[in-house]
Amino acid sequence: MPVGTQGTVKTVPQDTLEALGAEIILGNTYHLYLRPGHEAIRRMGGLHKFISWPHALLTDSGGFQVFSLNELRKVTDDGVRFRSHLDGSSHFFTPEHSIDVQIALGADICMAFDECTEYPADRSRAEESLRLTMAWARRSLDHFRAHRHEVPWSDPKGCGMQCFGIVQGGMYTDLRRQCAERLVEMNFDGYAIGGLSVGEPRELTLEMIAETLPLLPKDKPRYVMGVGYPYEIEQYARMGVDMMDCVLPTRAARHGLLFTSQGRLNIKNKQYAEDQGPPDPACDCMVCRRYSRAYLRHLMQAGEALSGTLNSIHNLAFYLGIMQRVRDSLAPATGNQEAGSLKLEARS
Amino acid sequence: MPVGTQGTVKTVPQDTLEALGAEIILGNTYHLYLRPGHEAIRRMGGLHKFISWPHALLTDSGGFQVFSLNELRKVTDDGVRFRSHLDGSSHFFTPEHSIDVQIALGADICMAFDECTEYPADRSRAEESLRLTMAWARRSLDHFRAHRHEVPWSDPKGCGMQCFGIVQGGMYTDLRRQCAERLVEMNFDGYAIGGLSVGEPRELTLEMIAETLPLLPKDKPRYVMGVGYPYEIEQYARMGVDMMDCVLPTRAARHGLLFTSQGRLNIKNKQYAEDQGPPDPACDCMVCRRYSRAYLRHLMQAGEALSGTLNSIHNLAFYLGIMQRVRDSLAPATGNQEAGSLKLEARS
Mean pLDDT across chain A? 94
Name the residue among A35, A291, A308 with its Cβ closest to that of B301: A35
Report CB contact under 8 Å: B8, A299. yes
- For residue B340, the model assigns a pLDDT of 43
- Report the distance separating Cα A293 and Cα A303, nearest Å: 15
| Residue B119 DSSP symbol | S
How far is B57 from B106, CA to CA, in rounded Å? 9
| Residues on chain B bordering chain A, Cβ-to-Cβ distance under 8 angstroms | 6-8, 10-15, 31, 35-36, 40, 43-45, 49-52, 273-274, 276, 286, 290-292, 294-295, 298-299, 301-302, 304-306, 308-310
Query: What average pLDDT does this structure show over B56-73?
Result: 88
Q: What sign does the CA torsion over A124, A125, A130, A133 have?
A: positive
Name the residue facing B51 among A10, A274, A295 (closest C-beta): A295
Nearest-by-Cβ selection for B13 from A45, A294, A310: A310
Question: A173-186 and A123-147 are packed helices; what angle lies between their axes, rounded to 10 degrees?
Answer: 10
Distance CA B35, CA B65 (A): 14
Q: Distance between CA B210 and CA B33 in Å, rounded?
A: 34
Query: Which residues sit opposite B93 in a β-bridge?
Result: B80
Taking phi over 0 as left and psi of -120 to 50 as alpha, with beta for the rest, B344 belongs to alpha
Report the distance separating Cα B52 and Cα B49, nearest Å. 5
The alpha carbon dihedral of B212, B218, B220, B223 has a sign of positive
Question: Cα–Cα distance between A13 and A323 in angstroms, integer?
Answer: 21
Would you say residue B24 has pLDDT above 80? yes
3-state SS class at A261 = coil
**Is A13 in Cβ contact with B305 (below 8 Å)?**
no
State pLDDT tens for residues B228-265. Answer: 999 999 999 999 999 999 999 999 999 999 999 999 99
User: With an 8 Å Cβ cutoff, are B305 and A310 in contact?
Assistant: no
Q: Between A12, A31, A304, which is nearest B10 by CB?
A: A304
Helix axes B230-239, B202-212, angle to 10 degrees: 20
Cα separation, B188 vs B197, whole angstroms: 23
The long-range contacts involving A121-125, CB below 8 angstroms and separated by at least 24 positions, are A121/A170, A121/A171, A123/A170, A123/A172, A125/A170
pLDDT at A329 over 60: yes
The runs of H, that is alpha helices, within A187-305 are: 202-212, 230-239, 248-254, 286-290, 293-301
Give the distance from residue A218's alpha carbon to the nearest chain B alpha carbon, in angstroms: 38
Chain A residues within 8 Å of chain B (Cβ atoms): 6-8, 10-15, 31, 35-36, 40, 43-45, 49-52, 273-274, 276, 286, 290-292, 294-295, 298-299, 301-302, 304-306, 308-310
Cα dihedral angle (B218, B220, B226, B230), rounded to 10 degrees? 50
Report the SS3 class of residue A256: coil
CB spacing of B13 vs A276 below 8 angstroms: no
Q: Dump pLDDT digits (tens) for A286-299.
A: 999 999 999 999 99
pLDDT tens digits for range B101-137: 999 999 999 999 999 999 999 999 999 999 999 999 9
Query: Are B279 and B300 contacting, i.e. CB atoms less than 8 angstroms apart?
Result: no
With beta carbons under 8 A apart, name residues in chain A contacting B316. none
CB of B161 closer than 8 Å to CB of B151: yes
Q: Which of A100, A108, A114, A245 is catalytic?
A: A245
Which DSSP state fits A21?
T
- Counting residues of chain A whose pLDDT is more than 70, the rounded percentage is 95
DSSP 8-class letter at A273: T
Rounded (5°) CA angle A107-A110-A116? 140
- Percentage of chain B lying above the pLDDT 90 cut: 90
Q: Using one digit for the tens of pLDDT, what is the confidence trace for B319-331?
A: 999 999 999 998 6
Sign of torsion over alpha carbons B182, B186, B192, B195 = negative
Q: Which of B7, B43, B276 sits opposite A44 (nearest CB)?
A: B276
Q: Using an 8 Å CB-CB cutoff, list chain A residues near B7.
A: 295, 298-299, 302
* Residues of B taking part in catalysis: 60, 245
Residue type, A201: P
Query: How large is the average pLDDT for residues A9-31?
Result: 98
Kindly determine whether residue A305 and residue B306, on different chains, have CB atoms separated by under 8 Å.
no
More confident residue, B203 or B71: B203
- Computed over every residue of chain B, the mean pLDDT equals 94
- CA-to-CA distance for B16 and B10, rounded, in angstroms? 12
Q: What is the ipTM score, two decimals?
A: 0.95
**Alpha helix (H) residue ranges in A70-172:** 95-105, 123-147
Predicted local distance difference test score (pLDDT) of residue A347: 41
C-beta atoms surrounding B187 within 10 Å = 10
User: What are the chain B neighbours of A302 within 8 Å (beta carbons)?
Assistant: 6-8, 31, 35
A306 and B12 within 8 Å at the Cβ level: the answer is: yes
Q: Does residue A230 register a pLDDT over 70? A: yes
- Report DSSP state, residue B3: B
Beta-carbon neighbour count of residue A78 at 10 Å?
13
Model pLDDT, residue A336: 52
Rg (CA), chain A: 20
Helix (H, G, I), strand (E, B) or coil at A25: strand
Nearest CA in chain B to A310: B13
pLDDT range class, residue B154, cuts 50, 70, 90:
confident
Residue A248 has pLDDT above 80, yes or no: yes
Q: Which residue has the higher pLDDT, A77 or B339?
A: A77
A45 contacts in B (CB within 8 Å)?
Answer: 276
Question: How many other C-beta atoms are found inside a 10 Å radius of the C-beta of residue A325?
Answer: 11
- Sequence-ordered list of residues with C-beta below 8 angstroms from that of B48, at least 6 positions apart, any chain: B54, B55, B57, B106, B107, B153, B347
Smallest Cβ distance to B44: which of A6, A274, A302? A274
| pLDDT tens per residue, range B190-215 | 999 999 999 999 999 999 999 999 99
CB contact under 8 A, A36 and B294: yes
Identify the band that residue A333 occupies on the pLDDT scale cut at 50, 70 and 90: low
| Nearest CA distance, A14 vs chain B (angstrom) | 9
Q: How far apart are CA B346 and CA B348, in angstroms?
A: 6
State the greatest distance between any 2 C-alpha atoms of chain B, in Å, as a whole number. Answer: 61
Say whether pLDDT at A339 is over 50: no
Say whether B36 and A7 touch across the interface (CB within 8 A).
no
Report CB contact under 8 Å: B7, A40.
no
Chain-centroid distance of CA B318 in Å reads 17
**Among A206-210, B83-87, B262-266, B306-310, whose mean pLDDT is lowest?**
B83-87
Binned at pLDDT 50, 70 and 90, residue A337 comes out as very low
Q: Do B52 and A11 touch (CB under 8 A)?
A: no
